[in-house]
Structure 1
Amino acid sequence: MLLLPWSVSCGPRPDRPAAAPVTPPAAADRSAPPAVTSSTVGTGTGAGTGTAAGTGAGSVQAADPVRVRIPAIAVSAPVVPLSLDGGGRLRAPDGFSETGWNAAGPEPGETGTAVIAGHVDSRTGPAVFFRLRDLAPGDRVEVERADGSSVAFVVRRLARFPKDAVPAADVYGSTGAPALRLITCGGVFDQARSSYRDNVVVFADLA
């Protein structure tokens, strides 16, 4: 699961490189995306129902995301809903080839900041967001939705934050318009914590 403040278990197989230069870990189960909590991510009008419409300028009718495509890094992956646990923490995706969406927050395309997270690697090799760090401003992110529609975003910037110093308002706060954050782990691997020290965050706006 994902723990606040962004202290997550992120670890590749010892003989695998990670998404950014790392100290190879001695032991770790998996590379989880960063912490997202109900206190840092706003609740959208759709809230996972696929029925409500966004209210901000440029928003589209809400619908659950089912697949994310990122042509620049050859990603085409299913999006599964992620629930919050009893402590309000977002659970990590079970699969390394799938991404997860915070179903308690805005849906991609709805007014607010939607979050899609994915693993960077596993014991057997790169995972879905292994190349997330390679994205550049202007790259497109396409989200296919359960109603058959799709919504496109354009990467605005990338950032890497220490997990204990993530600016929650900047990453998760609503901009008053549809926004998307793609998040995975990165940086140096901390063997003592069996976790990467940083998170890679892609900031994208509605195209």
Structure 2
Amino acid sequence: MTSDPPSDPPRSPSPAPTSTLRPETHSAELPPPQPTTPPTRLRIPDLGVDMTVVDVGVEPTGQMQLPEDPAVAGWYRYGADAASTAGLVVLAAHVDAVGYPIGPLSRLRELGAGATVEVTDANGVPRTYAVESLAFYEKAALPTGELFAREGPPGLVLITCGGPFDSTTGHYRDNVVAIARPA
């Protein structure tokens, strides 16, 4: 008689290997917003500019809002603030507007490299910048990604209208843009 080889007892399947690594977990809650330090005054001594600054947002068209009065500059509140150590503080104003005199930034195109620009914040702290460059862009070609940067080296961007006036649209064709860095 032949005998069958002894069979091994049935084995239960091996458990799947378990990692000893534990993923880092983070709360899904957003951190509280950091307080901002808005700019409140813009001075450009070489041009005789001394303007109040107010915070502004975005128009329904996607463009930066601007105060109606050309003697008042708007600070883009979604970008860097006056105390930021990174990103660009963006201030802009109209050159002119119906019912108002010509605005102080109408002379921005005369600003030379090295000129001093002073921005005072809501705490009364002045910050001094030196103009690095002055450029003219057709509004459709304005490099908004660069000019509204929230990261990178700190700086100041001043924007106003310029170039020829188009009476059919009621707007200037270009933007005059000065970029300044902390002095």
Q: Which residue of 2 aligns with 1:19?
A: none
Q: What's the RMSD between the two structures over aligned residues?
A: 2.0
Per-residue deviation, 1:64: 1.4
Q: Which has the higher contact order (CA 8 A, sep 6+)?
A: 1
> What is the CA–CA distance in structure 2 between the aligned matches of 1:170 and 1:146, rounded to whole Å?
26
Aligned residues: 149
AA matched with 2:64: L
The alignment's TM-score, normalised by the length of structure 2, stands at 0.74
Q: Is the 8 Å Cα contact of residues 48 and 64 (structure 1) preserved in structure 2? A: no
Deviations 1:120-154 (A, max 9, x none): 12345311211111100000110111112111111
Q: Which residue of 1 aligns with 2:13?
A: none
AA matched with 2:182: L
Is the counterpart of residue 184 in structure 1 residue 160 in structure 2?
Answer: yes
AA matched with 1:201: V
Which of 115, 137, 147 does residue 90 from structure 2 map onto? Answer: 115
Per-residue deviation, 1:104: 1.4
Is the counterpart of residue 70 in structure 1 residue 56 in structure 2?
Answer: no
Q: Is the 8 Å Cα contact of residues 68 and 94 (structure 2) preserved in structure 1? A: no
Give percent identity, aligned residues only: 36
Q: Unmatched 5+ residue regions in structure 1?
A: 1-46, 51-62
Q: Unmatched 5+ residue regions in structure 2?
A: 1-32
Is the counterpart of residue 162 in structure 1 residue 138 in structure 2?
Answer: yes
Q: Which residue of 1 aligns with 2:70?
A: 96
Deviations 1:86-128 (A, max 9, x none): 5654221132211110111111341101100011123453112
SS at match of 2:105: coil
> What is the CA–CA distance in structure 2 between the aligned matches of 1:73 and 1:191, rounded to whole Å?
28
AA matched with 1:49: P
> What is the CA–CA distance in structure 1 between the aligned matches of 2:69 and 2:145, rounded to whole Å?
28
Per-residue deviation, 1:172: 2.6
* Structure with larger Rg: 2
Where do residues 1-207 of structure 1 align in structure 2 (5 Å cutoff)? 49-50=35-36, 63-85=37-59, 88-110=62-84, 111-123=86-98, 124-174=100-150, 176-207=152-183
Q: Is the 8 Å Cα contact of residues 129 and 182 (structure 2) preserved in structure 1? A: yes
Higher mean alpha-carbon deviation, 189-198 vs 135-144, is at 189-198
Per-residue deviation, 1:73: 0.3
Q: Which residue of 1 aligns with 2:9?
A: none
